[in-house]
Structure 1
Amino acid sequence: MRALLVVNPAATTTSARTRDVLIHALASEVKLEAVTTEYRGHARDIGRLAAASSDVDMVVALGGDGTVNEVVNGLLHDGPDPDRLPGLAVVPGGSTNVFARALGLPNDPVEATGALLDALRTGSQRTVSLGLASGTPGSEDEAVPGRWFTFTAGLGFDAGVIGRVEQHRERGRRSTHPLYVRQVLRQFVGEPHRRHGLITLEQPGQEPVDDLVLSVVCNTAPWTYLGNRPIYASPRASFDTGLDIFGLSRLSTMAVARYGTQLLASSPERGPRGRHALSRHDLTEFTLHSKAPLPFQMDGDHLGLRTSVTFAGVRRALRVIV
């Protein structure tokens, strides 16, 4: 088997020595070529070249969720076809590694490499669904190109938190869980639309749902982690179904205390509930509109401001070695 290893040298939890060990371990099982990313978007470009090549059977992403997202978007540049595309494998190297952990991989890169080697020896793989977000026809964001996401997207509050975290990272701060918690609190204090949200959910054949403050689109569960604690905003979300959405129409102090507690106590059997909570499962297509530009994120990557985003849940979009 011929494999291409995409290495993010800035990955949070791997050192150069660790990466060398992982490369040697993988090279013992496959014919391996390693490429180190040099700029933002480089992993996407590498994935696109791999998808167009007949010489690559598997692409391994060594990095965090951002690296994985770029590789996936490169592989799917011309659309999904799991029988034609190289398989994707993931070795977690970021601070949270939601996609890898949702696949059942260990969070430690060495242990995850061992699990990948076992999967290669046994031929273990699966196909997963993905989300696709694009500009809504007729809106001012119509020209925004489509982009794939592996586990989550969000318009509004959560994307604002991610934007704040990225600002700190650009100033040299590490992406840690305490940093995220502090930015959640600061985003809450600075949120001007806590009681009357700007977001409307539209589904074909359904009545619109207005005044959402928070909207998190999930392609799997858990949605994220707080340390080692999994968070299940949409417990039924799965790589085998369409998209789920979790929304809140109020972020008052009492609402945050209630739903924050429910999120911390969430499980595969029970997620947040209440009269200000919205939950939809297994959606194929829907749109989120906002009355004003709001922060937008995909797989933990802040993508600027949007007023309208159309989502599609695409089943069996990608083959994963796991």
Structure 2
Amino acid sequence: MGRRVALAVHPGSGHGTAARIAGTVAERLRAEVDHLELISAATPQALRDSVTACRSAGLDALVVVGGDGAAHQAVQCCAGTEVALGLVPSGTGNDFARALGVPGRPGEAVTALLSALRGGSDRTVDLGRVDGDDPGSSRWFGTVLCTGFDAAVNARANRLPWPSGPRRYDAALLRELLSLRPRPVVVDTDAGSVRVSATLVAVGNTPFYGGGVPICPSARPDDGVFDVTVVGRVSRTRLARILPRLRTGQHVRHPAVHTLRATRVRIEGAAGTEGTAEWPVFADGDPLGALPVNATCVPAALRVLACPQLP
């Protein structure tokens, strides 16, 4: 049986960029594979149902045209299976694709995908798994899980109609500074437990969130561990001084910033405190509820295309 590939397009990604390039991507893939299945990605459940049906018929790869939200949903379909994931970044952030070394230009990304398909080359990368209380409620993430100030920024950025791309994140960040309120949390890991009055906690499978912000600059998706960044209690003024360092990764040198590496992380409000349970939790830019949260790094949980060498 020849190479079977499914193509899922999220037309709203990148303010319509995904929809504009979908035909070209499909044409180029169709010329190279034995069977191309077009999948409707109108809802996360529709995507999962379609991929499940394709997988039962024999599926080698799922190619997704979209941004981090589209990649996040595709990861839920491919994690723990033999179906390789290919990304054509066309969103506003594209942080997962960036961390995997996928070319930022859609045309170049497709060329890299075709090269991987021709050579039958793929590789495995780690994923984070968020475990809920109910069986079957686990969620996967490829980039960063965050809570606190950065999760609040993420939530606000999702609500902003303008500006686009990384500037939207920057605008949301400045607005959230006005309501900054550090809160006591317990960060419990297999590398030790820390109780701290935190401004934010970020658990990185890869370095980036917010359109290229290396919040966990040393994180790699092939080392079997998370990199955890904890920003302790800081004033608005001190945080404003840290923020310019985020784009360069130099924030980890600030005395208020603590880092550690772990395979298992639980974040919860410290006993006897109020308000922390209201802290939102985001992963891959998608909301996952509020604290407490449990995350586990699962080595080699995902096969990916067009990543001969991670950056």
Q: What is the TM-score when the length of structure 1 is the normalising length?
A: 0.84
Aligned to 1:236: 218
Whole-angstrom distance in 2 between the partners of 1:178 and 1:257: 16
Q: Give the superposition deviation at 1:271.
A: 5.3
Which of 252, 270, 273 does residue 253 from structure 2 map onto?
273
| Alignment CA distance shift 1:188-1:95 (3 Å) | same
Aligned to 1:35: 39
Which of 89, 96, 115 does residue 92 from structure 1 map onto?
89
Whole-angstrom distance in 2 between the partners of 1:206 and 1:15: 43
- 2:121 matched to 1:163? no
Unpaired segments ≥5 residues, structure 2: 270-275, 307-311
- Secondary structure in 2 matching 1:240: coil
- 2:214 matched to 1:212? no
User: Which residue identity does 2:48 align to in structure 1?
Assistant: R
Whole-angstrom distance in 2 between the partners of 1:160 and 1:48: 34
Q: Is the 8 A contact 2:93 2:210 kept in 1?
A: yes
Aligned to 1:285: 264
Q: Is the 8 A contact 1:130 1:315 kept in 2?
A: yes
| Alignment CA distance shift 1:321-1:95 (3 Å) | same
Aligned to 1:72: 75
Which of 190, 212, 220 does residue 179 from structure 2 map onto?
190
- Secondary structure in 2 matching 1:96: coil
Q: Is the 8 A contact 1:47 1:73 kept in 2?
A: no
- Secondary structure in 1 matching 2:252: coil
- Secondary structure in 2 matching 1:198: strand
Whole-angstrom distance in 1 between the partners of 2:39 and 2:21: 16
Q: Give the superposition deviation at 1:123.
A: 2.3
- Secondary structure in 2 matching 1:207: strand
Return the structure number with greater helix share. 2
Aligned residues: 295
Aligned to 2:66: 63
- Secondary structure in 2 matching 1:220: coil
| Alignment CA distance shift 1:175-1:143 (3 Å) | farther
**Matched ranges for 1:111-130 at <5 A:** 111-130=108-127
Kindly, what percent of the aligned residue pairs are identical? 31
Whole-angstrom distance in 2 between the partners of 1:42 and 1:320: 22
Whole-angstrom distance in 2 between the partners of 1:253 and 1:246: 18
| Alignment CA distance shift 1:14-1:116 (3 Å) | same
Q: Is the 8 A contact 2:201 2:228 kept in 1?
A: yes
Q: Is the 8 A contact 1:48 1:75 kept in 2?
A: no
Aligned to 2:23: 20
Q: Is the 8 A contact 2:61 2:86 kept in 1?
A: yes
User: Which residue identity does 1:289 align to in structure 2?
Assistant: E
Give structure 1 regions of 4+ aligned residues with deviation exceeding 4 angstroms: none
User: Which residue identity does 2:4 align to in structure 1?
Assistant: R
- Secondary structure in 2 matching 1:107: coil
Q: Give the superposition deviation at 1:66.
A: 0.8
Moved more, 40-49 or 98-107: 40-49
Unpaired segments ≥5 residues, structure 1: none
Whole-angstrom distance in 2 between the partners of 1:143 and 1:118: 39
Q: Is the 8 A contact 1:132 1:314 kept in 2?
A: yes
Q: Give the superposition deviation at 1:40.
A: 4.4
Q: Is the 8 A contact 1:41 1:70 kept in 2?
A: no
| Alignment CA distance shift 1:155-1:45 (3 Å) | farther
